[in-house]
Structure 1
Amino acid sequence: MRTLIVEDDLTSRLLLQTILQDYGTTHVAVDGLEAVEAVRLAILSGEPYELICLDIMLPELSGHDALKQIRALEETHGIFSPANAKVIMVSALNDLKNIHVAFHNLCDAYLTKPIAKIHLLEELKNLKLI
């Protein structure tokens, strides 16, 4: 599984990398702009990401805005559900507004920090990634 972890917090980033490294290749972006560029390059190389773990509160471009741009990139390149990347929003924000916006922007799951390995693996199973 090719995974992009988009997280500006080192501790959260390392935790996600540690959990996901056993399931395939992981790449990292530390802000929303890097995330969109990483997704663009992966699509152009013919090896798009299967999973994107995306924080909401990011520098340069929020996770919400990055997700909109990622879904637009996929659409431009003819990648539609169910072939598009599965996006799990990973955030400290647990309010209904942010959760609603995330799903409106077509995320596939939403987990709140601190991330529990069991919950992340459960979502990966629900998304049929593992």
Structure 2
Amino acid sequence: MRALIAEDEFVGRKLLSNFLSPLFQIDIVVNGQEAIDAYKMAFEEDEPYGLILMDIMMPEVDGLTALAAIRDFEKNNNINTPAKVIMTTALDDAKTVIRSFHDAEASGYIIKPVIREKLYDELAKIGLLQK
């Protein structure tokens, strides 16, 4: 299964890549616009992403806006199996969590710093990892 990491910080990209590379084929982008573009390209190549890890605070287009665009693309193209999306962020406020799940239709939410066990627990919750 393909996974997309959308993260603007190098250390975060490296860490998430190390955690996910044993489990998924990984692609990495550095902002929300690139995440939207990569998602659409993967769909056009008939190799869609099953998982996206999306940072909320990124340049150009933030993660919540990018996820909303991806969900709109999925609906407009009658995609029956939408990507599982885990939001990753330093924001630990209830308003952002609610927006992630309700408005942007996220599958999961992880507060940074991301540790392997926390990520794997979240992957198990959304059905992408057997524990």
Give the TM-score normalised by the residue count of structure 1: 0.96
Residue 29 of structure 2 is matched in structure 1 by: 29
Cα separation, 1, equivalents of 2:44 and 2:125: 28
Partners of 2:20 and 2:50 in 1: how far apart? 12
Q: How many equivalent pairs are there?
A: 128
Quote the offset at 1:24 in angstroms: 1.9
1:10 aligns with 2:10: yes
Q: 1:45 Cα shift? A: 1.0
- Mean alpha-carbon deviation: is it higher for 29-38 or for 71-80? 71-80
Alignment TM-score, normalising by the size of structure 2: 0.95
Cα drift, residue 4 of structure 1: 0.2
- The letter of the residue matching 1:126 is K
1:123 positional shift: 1.0
Tell me the distance in 2 between the aligned counterparts of 1:90 and 1:26. 16
| Structure 2 counterpart of 1:123, one-letter code | E
In percent, how many aligned pairs have the same letter?
40
Which residue number corresponds to residue 120 of structure 1? 119
* CA RMSD after TM alignment: 0.7
C-alpha displacement at 1:111, in angstroms? 0.2
Q: Which amino acid aligns with 1:13?
A: R
1:100 paired residue number: 98
